[in-house]
Amino acid sequence: MHPDFETILNWRLLAGSHPFPGPDGGTCINEAAIVAAGLPYRAIRSSADCPPCFSRPVAAYALGLNDTMPDEARPQLMAFVLRLSGSADAPEIEAARTRTLALESVRRILAPLCAVAGMVEDAKACIGAPDWPAALAAANAAAWRGGARSQAAAEARRWREGALTAAVSRTATAAQRAGTDARCAAEVAEGAAPFVAGTWSQACAILDEALAIGRQAPEIALVGARQRMDAARTGALA
């Protein structure tokens, strides 16, 4: 990837869906990918709105990150703008991608949050989970223990501990759902990010790994993508 990739594409990622990009080039990541690939433009409110050639779990996770990342972190997603169109694959591949998003979110995002909250055994169980069933069990235990510790901390007026353990409980609950709903894996990152530095970078690394499974998007010439995105900014594609 070119080191100035974001600058070359001259695009600004924004939270939410957008009827059509304006002069600021603002869209979500999936809408930017549509423009870059030269597909008919559409506003994306969920992964179901994406063209059929987009991997549904990958698009759901990318959209979840796009909408929860702070403005300063969201440009990290531009590295994926040429990799989404054409990534759709067979059901078993999409299921493997969903499991990867869920499993790695438990190992690499929920685990550090548990550690920060002082839940060392839960952190070990999360990071050491060999597969999704083990990760799901670890997330279930973390959700229960986090909730119990948060309640006890609140009763004792230990506010910081209560906030951290409540975040563990909420984030672990999202992780439980991530095995069937890829967008919930993005909620794991959202829950951990306020407490664990580097969470958004880890989330993007997990997205990269999910995209590496199965069919790869056909190569899109960077110059052509830039031309299409510039045309969208001026309204020439409207």
Co-location of 113 and 188 in the same domain? yes
The string of DSSP codes covering 182-215 is: HHHHHHHHHHHTTTSTTHHHHHHHHHHHHHTSSP
- Domain of residue 101, residue span: 91-214
- Interior/surface letters 210-221, b for 16+ CB within 10 angstroms, e for the rest: bbebbeebeebe
Q: Which residues contact 180 (CB under 8 A, 6 or more apart)?
A: 98
* pLDDT, tens only, 94-143: 999 999 999 999 999 999 999 999 999 999 999 999 999 999 999 999 99
195 lies in the same domain as 232 = no
204 with 98, same domain: the answer is: yes
Same domain, 77 and 6: yes
Measured CA distances, 217 to 4, 13, 70, 214, 221 (Å): 21, 21, 27, 10, 12
115 and 71 fall within a common domain: no
Same domain, 101 and 197: yes
**Which pLDDT belongs to residue 22?**
66
Overall domain count for the chain: 2
Same domain, 58 and 96: no
Q: Are residues 104 and 189 in the same domain?
A: yes
Residues 61 and 16 in one domain: yes
Q: Are residues 73 and 110 part of one domain?
A: no
On whether both 194 and 82 belong to a single domain, the answer is no
Q: Per DSSP, what are the bridge partners of residue 27?
A: 13
Percent of the chain having pLDDT more than 70?
94
Query: What whole-number distance in Å separates Cα of residue 30 and Cα of residue 81?
Result: 7
Tens of pLDDT along the chain (238 residues) come to 444 455 557 788 888 888 777 666 678 999 999 999 999 988 899 999 999 999 999 999 999 999 999 999 999 999 999 999 999 999 999 999 999 999 999 999 999 999 999 999 999 999 999 999 999 999 999 999 999 999 998 899 998 889 999 999 999 999 999 999 999 999 999 999 999 999 999 999 999 999 999 999 998 888 888 888 888 877 765 5
Q: Are residues 137 and 35 in the same domain?
A: no
Q: Sign of dihedral through CA atoms 54, 60, 61, 64?
A: positive
